[in-house]
Amino acid sequence: MYEWIWRHLPGPLALRVVEALLLVAVVVTLLMFVVFPWAEPLLPFNNVTTE
């Protein structure tokens, strides 16, 4: 998977490294601000109220 992505990044090595870091940043941002906030209430970690 990662190898495939790396092979398909265009440009010379330095540019590829930048692109790879950019991809990682995009994925992390998506996780942090979209996926995790959505998933968190579904997980049994942080319910603090009584019923």
Partner 1 sequence: MGGTPAGGVPVTGAPGRRPSPSPAGGPPRRPPTPQGSPVADRLGGAPRSAADAPTERVRARAVAPPVEPTQFAKPVFTGSLPPAAATRPPQRPAPPVRPRTIDAQTVVIPRVGEDRDAQNLHGVADADDEYDVGDEDAVAAREHPEDGIGRKAVRGIGELLITAGLVVLLFVVYEVYVTDLVSAGKQDDVTAALDDQWGANTVDGAQREAKYELIEGSAFAKIYIPVFGPDYKFSIVEGTTDADLEVGPGHYVGTALPGEPGNFAVAGHRVGKGSPFNDLDLLNSCDAVVVETQTGWFVYRVLPMEGEEQGWAEGRGRSEKCANVAPMKDPAQPGGGPYAQTVGQEIVSPKQGEVINPIPHYEGEVPVTQQASLLTLTTCHPRFSDKERLIIHATLVKQWEKNPDKPTETPPELEES
User: For partner 1, which is the closer residue by CB, 17 or 33?
Assistant: 33
CB nearer partner 1, residue 14 or residue 48: 48
Residues near partner 1 (CB under 8 A): 1-2, 28, 31-32, 36, 39-41, 44-51
Nearer to partner 1, 2 or 14 (CB): 2
Residues 6+ apart with CB under 8 A from 39: none
Cα–Cα distance measured from residue 26 to residue 18, given in angstroms and rounded to the nearest whole number: 12
Q: What 3-state class would DSSP assign to 11? A: coil
Q: Compute the least distance from the CB of residue 35 to partner 1, in Å.
A: 9
**DSSP designation for 45:** T
